[in-house]
């Protein structure tokens, strides 16, 4: 329980640092914000994903945890898209980013410390990372690329194949795949290369959380009345539906019990990853629903994760 609280406290403090930076350095706010996004996307986040995967035991993490993560995310995102489209009449171009916000968890920034403290192993978090970065994220990025291509007249005449390939072959996904190959073939980088990569990777989490905090400055929660129904629905799916789906799959489909089941549910209860906002901005998509769901789930996931830890430990 203490580990769960500590993990969330660290995240909230770093978000607060970003918010304070935007407030008290108004002259530098735009320059800092503009510089952080590409720095994270192209350098620090790929370094983090490579180190995590290269140092992982793939045989262990690819057991039941990764399939559960895939099925949980797919079912939650698809169900949200259907409900939002049918009952809220959400435009199709807004569905992928909103669906990703309901089913793409913060396994790297929060999941790793939570898994370590609550379960005693980072295996559940690394399994989710593999599922998200090698399967789920590329699938959503393909949809983002298609929507962005359709909305941007300058890119409509570009060949579709290269557009999709460019979206999938982003630095984070490529680094994750390379890290998985290093782990599978048991390659080891020399310490002189591993150490600086690890240092860059360690910078990713605080920078990403600070960037999110800065993006909140001046924003009024739920100011966009048109998007409120999608935000409320997205938060409900992320905070309540996704952990329940993970519990049903883990308990009744894969037969997990005790700490393993708790690890699966706690990972599903994590808040939405800031990467969803980063990806949506990268493709110039409307960021309202991802930003609001990230913010709300960051706070509302705390009691859900604590309850899951208490009930399943």
Share of the chain above pLDDT 90, in %: 44
The pLDDT value recorded for residue 45 is: 87
Region 220-228 average pLDDT:
74
List own/partner pairs for 283-287 with CB under 8 A and 24 or more apart: 283/141, 283/144, 283/145, 283/147, 283/148, 283/167, 284/148, 284/151, 284/152, 285/93, 285/94, 285/96, 285/97, 285/144, 285/147, 285/148, 286/94, 286/97, 286/227, 287/97
Which tops the pLDDT comparison, 76 or 63?
Answer: 76
For the stretch 173-207, pLDDT in tens is 899 899 999 999 999 999 999 999 999 999 988 89
- All structural domains of the chain with their residue ranges: 2-8+27-312
Reported pTM: 0.82
Residues with Cβ within 8 Å of residue 48, at least 6 apart in sequence: 108, 200, 201, 202, 204, 205
What is the secondary structure of 176-240 as a DSSP string? HHHHHHHHHTT----HHHHHHHHHHHHHHHHHHHHHHHHHHTTPPTT--GGGHHHHHHHHHIIII
CA–CA separation, 266 and 308 (whole Å): 6
Q: Is the pLDDT of residue 162 over 70?
A: yes
For the stretch 163-174, pLDDT in tens is 667 767 788 889
Tokens of 117: 């403290």
**Token pair 């591993």: residue:** 194
The pLDDT value recorded for residue 160 is: 62
Class of domain 2-8+27-312: mainly alpha
CA–CA separation, 212 and 232 (whole Å): 20
The pLDDT value recorded for residue 158 is: 60
| Top-ranked range on mean pLDDT: pick from 2-11, 117-126, 247-256 | 247-256
Q: Is the pLDDT of residue 155 over 60?
A: no
């Amino acid at each position: 329980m203490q580990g769960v609280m500590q993990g969330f406290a660290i995240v909230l403090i770093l978000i607060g640092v970003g918010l304070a930076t935007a407030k008290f350095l108004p002259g530098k706010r735009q320059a800092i914000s503009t510089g952080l996004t590409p720095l994270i996307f192209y350098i620090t986040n790929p370094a983090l994903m490579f180190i995590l995967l290269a140092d992982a035991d793939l045989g262990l993490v690819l057991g039941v945890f990764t399939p559960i993560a895939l099925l949980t995310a797919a079912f939650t995102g698809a169900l949200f898209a259907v409900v939002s489209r049918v009952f809220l009449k959400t435009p199709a171009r807004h569905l992928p980013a909103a669906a990703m916000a309901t089913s793409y968890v913060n396994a790297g920034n929060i999941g790793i410390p939570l898994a370590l403290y609550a379960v005693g192993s980072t295996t559940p978090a690394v399994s989710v990372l593999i599922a998200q970065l090698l399967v789920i994220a590329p699938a959503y990025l393909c949809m983002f690329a298609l929507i962005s291509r359709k909305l941007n007249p300058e890119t409509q005449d570009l060949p579709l194949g290269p557009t999709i390939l460019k979206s999938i072959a982003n630095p984070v996904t490529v680094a994750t795949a390379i890290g998985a190959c290093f782990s599978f073939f048991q390659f080891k980088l020399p310490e002189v290369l591993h150490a600086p990569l690890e240092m860059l990777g360690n910078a990713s989490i605080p920078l990403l959380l600070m960037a999110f905090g800065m993006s909140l400055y001046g924003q009024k929660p739920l100011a966009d009345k048109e998007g409120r129904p999608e935000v409320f629905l997205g938060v409900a799916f992320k905070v309540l539906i996704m952990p329940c789906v993970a519990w049903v799959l883990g308990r009744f489909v894969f037969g997990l019990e005790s700490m393993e089941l708790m690890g699966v549910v706690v990972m599903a209860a994590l808040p939405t990853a800031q990467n969803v906002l980063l990806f949506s901005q990268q493709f110039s998509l409307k960021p309202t629903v991802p930003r609001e769901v990230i913010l709300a789930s960051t706070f509302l996931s705390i009691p859900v994760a604590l309850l899951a830890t208490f009930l399943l430990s």
